[in-house]
Amino acid sequence: MNKKLIDLKNISKSFDGQMVLDDLNLYIRENEFLTLLGPSGCGKTTTLRILGGFETPDTGHVIFDGTDITKLPPNKRQLNTVFQKYALFTHMTIAENIAFGLKIKNKSKAYIDDKIKYALKLVNLDGFENRMPDSLSGGQQQRIAIARAIVNEPKVLLLDEPLGALDLKLRQDMQYELIRLKNELGITFIYVTHDQEEALTMSDTIVVMNQGYIQQIGSPEKIYNEPENAFVADFIGESNIISSTMIEDKLVEILGVKFPCVDTGFGCNQPVDVVIRPEDVLLSSPASGKMKGVVTHLIFKGVHYEMEVTANGFEWLVHSTGMFPVGTEVGIDVDPFNIQIMNKPASEDEEAVGVNE
Protein backbone atom coordinates (compact mmCIF):
# COMPACT_ATOMS: atom_id res chain seq x y z
CA MET A 1 0.00 0.00 0.00
CA ASN A 2 1.42 3.37 -1.05
CA LYS A 3 2.14 5.90 1.67
CA LYS A 4 -0.15 8.79 2.51
CA LEU A 5 0.99 11.89 0.57
CA ILE A 6 -1.72 14.50 1.22
CA ASP A 7 -3.93 14.91 4.26
CA LEU A 8 -6.79 17.41 4.32
CA LYS A 9 -7.75 17.90 7.97
CA ASN A 10 -11.00 19.56 9.14
CA ILE A 11 -11.22 21.80 6.06
CA SER A 12 -14.09 24.29 6.04
CA LYS A 13 -14.68 27.08 3.51
CA SER A 14 -17.47 29.63 3.05
CA PHE A 15 -18.11 32.20 0.34
CA ASP A 16 -20.38 35.16 1.25
CA GLY A 17 -21.68 33.29 4.27
CA GLN A 18 -22.52 30.20 2.19
CA MET A 19 -20.80 27.04 3.50
CA VAL A 20 -19.10 25.25 0.57
CA LEU A 21 -16.98 22.75 2.53
CA ASP A 22 -17.94 21.64 6.03
CA ASP A 23 -15.22 19.97 8.14
CA LEU A 24 -13.89 17.87 5.27
CA ASN A 25 -11.32 15.17 6.04
CA LEU A 26 -9.59 13.30 3.24
CA TYR A 27 -6.22 11.69 2.61
CA ILE A 28 -4.63 10.86 -0.72
CA ARG A 29 -1.92 8.24 -1.30
CA GLU A 30 1.21 8.49 -3.40
CA ASN A 31 0.67 7.46 -7.06
CA GLU A 32 -3.12 7.29 -6.62
CA PHE A 33 -5.63 8.41 -9.26
CA LEU A 34 -8.24 9.98 -7.02
CA THR A 35 -11.38 11.60 -8.46
CA LEU A 36 -13.58 14.14 -6.70
CA LEU A 37 -17.02 13.51 -8.16
CA GLY A 38 -20.28 15.32 -7.59
CA PRO A 39 -22.87 17.74 -8.98
CA SER A 40 -22.19 21.45 -9.54
CA GLY A 41 -21.76 23.32 -6.26
CA CYS A 42 -20.81 20.24 -4.20
CA GLY A 43 -17.38 21.65 -3.23
CA LYS A 44 -15.10 19.53 -5.45
CA THR A 45 -13.42 22.43 -7.31
CA THR A 46 -13.03 24.39 -4.05
CA THR A 47 -11.26 21.34 -2.56
CA LEU A 48 -8.91 21.25 -5.58
CA ARG A 49 -8.24 25.02 -5.37
CA ILE A 50 -7.38 24.70 -1.65
CA LEU A 51 -4.96 21.90 -2.55
CA GLY A 52 -3.39 24.02 -5.30
CA GLY A 53 -3.04 27.06 -3.03
CA PHE A 54 -5.52 29.22 -4.98
CA GLU A 55 -7.89 29.36 -1.97
CA THR A 56 -7.15 29.39 1.76
CA PRO A 57 -9.49 27.36 3.99
CA ASP A 58 -11.36 29.18 6.80
CA THR A 59 -10.39 26.33 9.13
CA GLY A 60 -8.26 23.21 8.87
CA HIS A 61 -4.89 22.22 7.45
CA VAL A 62 -3.41 20.90 4.22
CA ILE A 63 -0.56 18.49 5.04
CA PHE A 64 1.73 17.54 2.12
CA ASP A 65 4.33 14.81 2.69
CA GLY A 66 4.28 15.55 6.44
CA THR A 67 4.57 19.35 6.06
CA ASP A 68 1.76 21.89 6.65
CA ILE A 69 1.41 23.82 3.36
CA THR A 70 -1.92 25.54 4.16
CA LYS A 71 -0.44 29.04 3.79
CA LEU A 72 2.09 28.23 1.04
CA PRO A 73 1.52 30.05 -2.32
CA PRO A 74 0.81 27.91 -5.45
CA ASN A 75 4.30 28.38 -6.99
CA LYS A 76 5.97 26.98 -3.84
CA ARG A 77 3.93 23.74 -3.86
CA GLN A 78 4.98 20.49 -5.56
CA LEU A 79 1.67 20.49 -7.39
CA ASN A 80 0.63 21.62 -10.86
CA THR A 81 -2.91 22.36 -12.02
CA VAL A 82 -4.48 21.73 -15.44
CA PHE A 83 -7.72 23.69 -15.89
CA GLN A 84 -10.69 23.09 -18.20
CA LYS A 85 -9.79 26.29 -20.05
CA TYR A 86 -6.30 25.32 -21.11
CA ALA A 87 -4.86 28.82 -20.47
CA LEU A 88 -2.15 28.47 -23.13
CA PHE A 89 -0.35 31.68 -24.06
CA THR A 90 -1.65 32.38 -27.57
CA HIS A 91 1.31 34.62 -28.56
CA MET A 92 3.87 31.89 -27.71
CA THR A 93 4.83 28.74 -29.62
CA ILE A 94 4.12 25.35 -28.10
CA ALA A 95 7.78 25.07 -27.03
CA GLU A 96 7.62 28.48 -25.32
CA ASN A 97 4.38 27.51 -23.56
CA ILE A 98 5.91 24.31 -22.20
CA ALA A 99 9.15 26.07 -21.22
CA PHE A 100 7.42 28.91 -19.35
CA GLY A 101 7.62 27.43 -15.83
CA LEU A 102 11.16 26.16 -16.36
CA LYS A 103 12.41 29.59 -17.48
CA ILE A 104 10.99 31.12 -14.29
CA LYS A 105 13.08 28.55 -12.39
CA ASN A 106 16.19 29.66 -14.36
CA LYS A 107 16.86 26.22 -15.86
CA SER A 108 19.53 25.99 -18.59
CA LYS A 109 18.57 26.06 -22.27
CA ALA A 110 19.84 22.50 -22.82
CA TYR A 111 17.78 21.25 -19.85
CA ILE A 112 14.68 23.08 -21.11
CA ASP A 113 15.08 21.74 -24.69
CA ASP A 114 15.42 18.18 -23.37
CA LYS A 115 12.32 18.58 -21.22
CA ILE A 116 10.24 20.01 -24.10
CA LYS A 117 11.15 17.02 -26.33
CA TYR A 118 10.42 14.57 -23.49
CA ALA A 119 7.06 16.15 -22.65
CA LEU A 120 5.88 16.32 -26.27
CA LYS A 121 6.84 12.67 -26.81
CA LEU A 122 4.94 11.74 -23.65
CA VAL A 123 1.72 13.39 -24.89
CA ASN A 124 2.21 12.05 -28.45
CA LEU A 125 2.85 15.46 -30.05
CA ASP A 126 6.50 15.18 -31.16
CA GLY A 127 7.49 17.86 -33.65
CA PHE A 128 4.90 20.40 -32.50
CA GLU A 129 7.51 22.73 -30.92
CA ASN A 130 7.08 25.60 -33.37
CA ARG A 131 3.30 25.43 -33.83
CA MET A 132 1.04 28.11 -32.32
CA PRO A 133 -1.79 27.16 -29.94
CA ASP A 134 -4.57 28.40 -32.26
CA SER A 135 -3.46 25.91 -34.95
CA LEU A 136 -4.21 22.99 -32.60
CA SER A 137 -7.46 21.09 -31.94
CA GLY A 138 -9.03 21.15 -28.47
CA GLY A 139 -7.60 17.74 -27.63
CA GLN A 140 -4.10 18.77 -28.74
CA GLN A 141 -4.29 22.00 -26.71
CA GLN A 142 -5.32 19.96 -23.68
CA ARG A 143 -2.31 17.68 -24.13
CA ILE A 144 0.01 20.71 -24.37
CA ALA A 145 -1.48 22.04 -21.11
CA ILE A 146 -0.70 18.66 -19.52
CA ALA A 147 2.84 18.66 -21.02
CA ARG A 148 3.44 22.14 -19.57
CA ALA A 149 2.45 20.84 -16.12
CA ILE A 150 4.50 17.62 -16.40
CA VAL A 151 7.84 19.31 -17.21
CA ASN A 152 7.85 20.95 -13.78
CA GLU A 153 8.05 17.42 -12.28
CA PRO A 154 5.21 17.89 -9.79
CA LYS A 155 4.56 15.16 -7.25
CA VAL A 156 0.85 15.78 -7.82
CA LEU A 157 -1.13 16.81 -10.87
CA LEU A 158 -4.46 18.55 -10.17
CA LEU A 159 -6.95 18.35 -13.04
CA ASP A 160 -10.10 20.49 -12.92
CA GLU A 161 -12.65 19.07 -15.42
CA PRO A 162 -9.86 19.06 -18.04
CA LEU A 163 -11.88 17.13 -20.64
CA GLY A 164 -15.15 19.06 -20.24
CA ALA A 165 -14.74 21.07 -23.46
CA LEU A 166 -13.95 18.06 -25.68
CA ASP A 167 -16.40 15.99 -27.72
CA LEU A 168 -17.26 12.47 -26.55
CA LYS A 169 -14.82 10.50 -28.76
CA LEU A 170 -11.93 12.84 -27.93
CA ARG A 171 -12.81 12.70 -24.23
CA GLN A 172 -12.64 8.90 -24.28
CA ASP A 173 -9.27 8.98 -26.08
CA MET A 174 -7.93 11.47 -23.53
CA GLN A 175 -9.14 9.31 -20.63
CA TYR A 176 -6.88 6.49 -21.86
CA GLU A 177 -4.04 9.00 -22.39
CA LEU A 178 -4.32 10.23 -18.80
CA ILE A 179 -4.33 6.69 -17.38
CA ARG A 180 -1.21 5.90 -19.48
CA LEU A 181 0.53 9.11 -18.35
CA LYS A 182 -0.24 8.44 -14.70
CA ASN A 183 1.22 4.93 -14.97
CA GLU A 184 4.32 6.10 -16.89
CA LEU A 185 5.07 9.11 -14.70
CA GLY A 186 4.25 7.52 -11.34
CA ILE A 187 2.74 10.73 -9.97
CA THR A 188 -0.47 11.31 -8.04
CA PHE A 189 -3.46 12.53 -10.05
CA ILE A 190 -6.32 14.39 -8.34
CA TYR A 191 -9.14 14.81 -10.81
CA VAL A 192 -12.37 16.81 -10.59
CA THR A 193 -15.41 15.87 -12.69
CA HIS A 194 -19.21 15.67 -12.58
CA ASP A 195 -19.10 12.90 -15.22
CA GLN A 196 -19.79 9.55 -13.53
CA GLU A 197 -18.55 7.45 -16.46
CA GLU A 198 -15.26 9.39 -16.53
CA ALA A 199 -14.78 8.77 -12.80
CA LEU A 200 -15.58 5.05 -13.05
CA THR A 201 -13.25 4.60 -16.07
CA MET A 202 -10.16 6.33 -14.75
CA SER A 203 -9.98 6.28 -10.96
CA ASP A 204 -8.32 4.11 -8.36
CA THR A 205 -10.44 5.90 -5.74
CA ILE A 206 -13.62 7.96 -6.10
CA VAL A 207 -14.74 10.54 -3.53
CA VAL A 208 -18.45 11.29 -4.04
CA MET A 209 -19.36 14.75 -2.75
CA ASN A 210 -22.64 16.61 -2.22
CA GLN A 211 -23.36 19.94 -0.54
CA GLY A 212 -19.85 20.26 0.91
CA TYR A 213 -19.78 16.79 2.45
CA ILE A 214 -18.14 13.53 1.44
CA GLN A 215 -20.89 10.96 0.81
CA GLN A 216 -18.70 7.92 0.11
CA ILE A 217 -15.08 7.03 -0.63
CA GLY A 218 -14.13 3.81 -2.41
CA SER A 219 -12.99 2.00 -5.55
CA PRO A 220 -15.16 2.45 -8.68
CA GLU A 221 -16.50 -1.10 -8.19
CA LYS A 222 -17.40 -0.47 -4.55
CA ILE A 223 -19.07 2.88 -5.29
CA TYR A 224 -21.13 1.38 -8.13
CA ASN A 225 -22.03 -1.97 -6.59
CA GLU A 226 -22.31 -0.96 -2.92
CA PRO A 227 -23.57 2.65 -2.68
CA GLU A 228 -23.87 3.76 0.95
CA ASN A 229 -26.88 5.99 0.47
CA ALA A 230 -29.59 6.93 -2.03
CA PHE A 231 -27.66 9.99 -3.26
CA VAL A 232 -24.65 7.89 -4.30
CA ALA A 233 -26.84 5.18 -5.82
CA ASP A 234 -28.77 7.75 -7.83
CA PHE A 235 -25.75 9.83 -8.87
CA ILE A 236 -23.54 6.93 -10.00
CA GLY A 237 -25.33 5.25 -12.86
CA GLU A 238 -29.04 4.48 -12.99
CA SER A 239 -30.85 2.72 -10.17
CA ASN A 240 -34.13 1.40 -8.95
CA ILE A 241 -34.36 2.77 -5.38
CA ILE A 242 -37.32 1.28 -3.51
CA SER A 243 -38.60 1.78 0.04
CA SER A 244 -38.67 -1.71 1.54
CA THR A 245 -38.73 -3.63 4.83
CA MET A 246 -35.88 -5.79 6.15
CA ILE A 247 -37.80 -8.78 7.52
CA GLU A 248 -34.69 -10.38 9.04
CA ASP A 249 -31.06 -11.05 8.06
CA LYS A 250 -30.90 -12.10 4.39
CA LEU A 251 -34.63 -11.52 3.75
CA VAL A 252 -36.18 -8.28 2.49
CA GLU A 253 -39.73 -7.41 1.48
CA ILE A 254 -39.83 -5.33 -1.70
CA LEU A 255 -43.24 -3.99 -2.80
CA GLY A 256 -45.01 -6.69 -0.79
CA VAL A 257 -42.88 -9.58 -2.11
CA LYS A 258 -40.17 -11.36 -0.08
CA PHE A 259 -36.75 -11.57 -1.74
CA PRO A 260 -33.68 -13.39 -0.35
CA CYS A 261 -30.61 -11.13 -0.13
CA VAL A 262 -27.10 -11.35 1.36
CA ASP A 263 -27.15 -8.36 3.73
CA THR A 264 -27.23 -8.72 7.51
CA GLY A 265 -27.26 -6.43 10.53
CA PHE A 266 -30.24 -4.23 9.62
CA GLY A 267 -32.51 -5.64 12.36
CA CYS A 268 -35.97 -7.21 12.02
CA ASN A 269 -38.95 -5.55 10.32
CA GLN A 270 -36.92 -2.36 9.79
CA PRO A 271 -37.60 0.21 7.03
CA VAL A 272 -34.72 0.27 4.52
CA ASP A 273 -33.97 1.51 1.01
CA VAL A 274 -33.15 -1.11 -1.60
CA VAL A 275 -30.98 -0.39 -4.66
CA ILE A 276 -31.23 -2.64 -7.73
CA ARG A 277 -29.33 -1.69 -10.86
CA PRO A 278 -31.33 -1.87 -14.15
CA GLU A 279 -28.98 -4.53 -15.57
CA ASP A 280 -29.61 -6.72 -12.51
CA VAL A 281 -33.39 -6.96 -13.01
CA LEU A 282 -34.08 -10.37 -14.59
CA LEU A 283 -37.13 -10.62 -16.87
CA SER A 284 -38.76 -13.97 -17.58
CA SER A 285 -42.17 -15.48 -18.23
CA PRO A 286 -44.86 -14.21 -15.78
CA ALA A 287 -45.17 -17.64 -14.18
CA SER A 288 -41.48 -17.98 -13.26
CA GLY A 289 -40.83 -14.51 -11.75
CA LYS A 290 -41.23 -13.50 -8.09
CA MET A 291 -43.30 -10.53 -9.24
CA LYS A 292 -45.45 -9.91 -12.33
CA GLY A 293 -45.28 -6.72 -14.39
CA VAL A 294 -46.11 -5.18 -17.76
CA VAL A 295 -43.60 -3.53 -20.13
CA THR A 296 -44.70 0.10 -20.61
CA HIS A 297 -41.72 1.63 -22.49
CA LEU A 298 -39.00 0.24 -24.76
CA ILE A 299 -35.91 1.95 -26.25
CA PHE A 300 -33.05 0.32 -28.18
CA LYS A 301 -29.70 1.60 -26.81
CA GLY A 302 -27.28 -0.34 -29.01
CA VAL A 303 -25.71 -2.63 -26.42
CA HIS A 304 -29.02 -3.33 -24.68
CA TYR A 305 -32.72 -2.55 -24.60
CA GLU A 306 -33.94 -0.10 -21.97
CA MET A 307 -37.42 -0.89 -20.69
CA GLU A 308 -39.80 0.39 -18.07
CA VAL A 309 -41.85 -2.30 -16.39
CA THR A 310 -44.77 -1.47 -14.10
CA ALA A 311 -45.01 -4.01 -11.30
CA ASN A 312 -46.71 -3.71 -7.89
CA GLY A 313 -47.22 0.02 -8.35
CA PHE A 314 -43.53 0.76 -9.13
CA GLU A 315 -41.89 1.74 -12.45
CA TRP A 316 -38.86 -0.58 -12.77
CA LEU A 317 -36.03 0.51 -15.05
CA VAL A 318 -34.61 -2.56 -16.81
CA HIS A 319 -31.58 -3.01 -19.11
CA SER A 320 -31.59 -6.29 -20.99
CA THR A 321 -30.14 -7.84 -24.14
CA GLY A 322 -33.51 -9.59 -24.53
CA MET A 323 -36.33 -7.54 -26.04
CA PHE A 324 -39.83 -7.60 -24.58
CA PRO A 325 -42.34 -5.49 -26.60
CA VAL A 326 -44.54 -2.88 -24.92
CA GLY A 327 -47.60 -4.53 -23.42
CA THR A 328 -45.84 -7.85 -22.73
CA GLU A 329 -46.53 -9.39 -19.33
CA VAL A 330 -43.26 -10.44 -17.69
CA GLY A 331 -41.92 -11.98 -14.51
CA ILE A 332 -39.35 -10.07 -12.44
CA ASP A 333 -36.57 -11.63 -10.39
CA VAL A 334 -33.30 -10.44 -8.86
CA ASP A 335 -30.24 -12.43 -7.77
CA PRO A 336 -29.79 -12.08 -3.96
CA PHE A 337 -26.23 -10.73 -4.49
CA ASN A 338 -27.60 -7.85 -6.62
CA ILE A 339 -29.97 -6.51 -3.96
CA GLN A 340 -28.15 -3.72 -2.12
CA ILE A 341 -29.68 -2.74 1.25
CA MET A 342 -29.18 0.77 2.71
CA ASN A 343 -30.31 2.35 5.96
CA LYS A 344 -33.09 4.88 5.52
CA PRO A 345 -31.97 8.43 6.42
CA ALA A 346 -33.44 9.62 9.71
CA SER A 347 -34.36 12.99 8.19
CA GLU A 348 -34.37 14.89 4.90
CA ASP A 349 -31.26 16.80 6.09
CA GLU A 350 -29.38 13.56 6.60
CA GLU A 351 -30.42 12.44 3.13
CA ALA A 352 -28.96 15.62 1.61
CA VAL A 353 -25.82 15.59 3.70
CA GLY A 354 -24.79 11.95 3.94
CA VAL A 355 -21.82 10.89 6.02
CA ASN A 356 -18.60 12.88 6.14
CA GLU A 357 -15.85 10.33 6.62
Please check whether residues 89 and 162 belong to one and the same domain.
yes
Please check whether residues 212 and 283 belong to one and the same domain.
no
Interior CA angle at 186 toward 163 and 195, to 5°? 25
**Is position 230 within any domain?**
no
Query: With bands split at pLDDT 50, 70 and 90, how would you rate the model's confidence at 75?
Result: confident
How far CA 311 is from CA of 48, 254, 281, 290, 317, in Å, comes to 44, 11, 12, 11, 11
Q: How far from chain centre, in Å, is Cα 314?
A: 29
Residue 246 clears pLDDT 80, i.e. is over it: yes
**Residues sharing a CB contact under 8 Å with residue 321, sequence separation 6 or more, in sequence order:** 303, 304, 305
The least confident of 135-139, 200-204, 321-325 is 135-139
Q: What is the CATH number of the domain that holds 289?
A: 2.40.50.140
Please check whether residues 175 and 132 belong to one and the same domain.
yes
**Is position 232 within any domain?**
no
Residue 167 clears pLDDT 90, i.e. is over it: no
End-to-end CA distance of the chain: 20
Query: With bands split at pLDDT 50, 70 and 90, how would you rate the model's confidence at 350?
Result: low
Query: With bands split at pLDDT 50, 70 and 90, how would you rate the model's confidence at 84?
Result: low
Please check whether residues 29 and 53 belong to one and the same domain.
yes
pLDDT of res. 355: 43
Please check whether residues 59 and 186 belong to one and the same domain.
yes
pLDDT of res. 105: 82
The most distant pair of C-alpha atoms in the chain lies apart, rounded to whole Å, by: 78
**Is position 89 within any domain?**
yes
**Is position 57 within any domain?**
yes
Residues 342-347: what's their mean pLDDT? 76
Residue 140 clears pLDDT 50, i.e. is over it: yes
Residue 344 clears pLDDT 90, i.e. is over it: no
Please check whether residues 135 and 208 belong to one and the same domain.
yes
Please check whether residues 245 and 348 belong to one and the same domain.
yes
Residue 41 clears pLDDT 50, i.e. is over it: yes
**Is position 187 within any domain?**
yes
Name the residue type at position 182.
K
pLDDT of res. 353: 47
pLDDT of res. 354: 45
pTM, full prediction = 0.85
- Can you tell me the distance from the alpha carbon of 200 to that of 182, in angstroms, rounded to the nearest whole number? 16
Residue 169 clears pLDDT 50, i.e. is over it: yes
Residue 24 clears pLDDT 80, i.e. is over it: yes
Please check whether residues 270 and 308 belong to one and the same domain.
yes
Nearest to 249 by CA among 231, 236, 232, 267: 267
Please say which residue of 199, 225, 251 terminates a domain. 225
Residue 185 clears pLDDT 50, i.e. is over it: yes
Residue 113 clears pLDDT 80, i.e. is over it: yes
- Can you tell me the distance from the alpha carbon of 335 to that of 260, in angstroms, rounded to the nearest whole number? 8
**Is position 184 within any domain?**
yes
pLDDT of res. 121: 86
Please check whether residues 144 and 24 belong to one and the same domain.
yes
Please check whether residues 221 and 291 belong to one and the same domain.
no
**Is position 234 within any domain?**
no
**Is position 235 within any domain?**
no
Please check whether residues 123 and 176 belong to one and the same domain.
yes
pLDDT in tens, 263-272: 999 999 999 9
Residue numbers of the domain that contains 21: 4-225
Query: What sign does the dihedral 194-200-201-206 (CA atoms) show?
Result: positive
Q: What is the CATH number of the domain that holds 13?
A: 3.40.50.300
pLDDT of res. 223: 95
Please say which residue of 193, 225, 257 terminates a domain. 225
**Residues sharing a CB contact under 8 Å with residue 302, sequence separation 6 or more, in sequence order:** none
High-pLDDT (> 70) share of the chain, %: 95
pLDDT in tens, 215-232: 999 999 999 999 999 899
Q: How far from chain centre, in Å, is Cα 214?
A: 12
**Domains: count for the chain:** 2
**Residues sharing a CB contact under 8 Å with residue 241, sequence separation 6 or more, in sequence order:** 230, 233, 234, 273, 274, 275
Residue 1 clears pLDDT 70, i.e. is over it: no
Please say which residue of 176, 197, 225 terminates a domain. 225
**Residues sharing a CB contact under 8 Å with residue 87, sequence separation 6 or more, in sequence order:** 145
pLDDT of res. 356: 38
Please check whether residues 140 and 258 belong to one and the same domain.
no
pLDDT in tens, 296-321: 999 999 999 999 999 999 999 999 99
pLDDT of res. 86: 64
- Can you tell me the distance from the alpha carbon of 301 to that of 314, in angstroms, rounded to the nearest whole number? 22
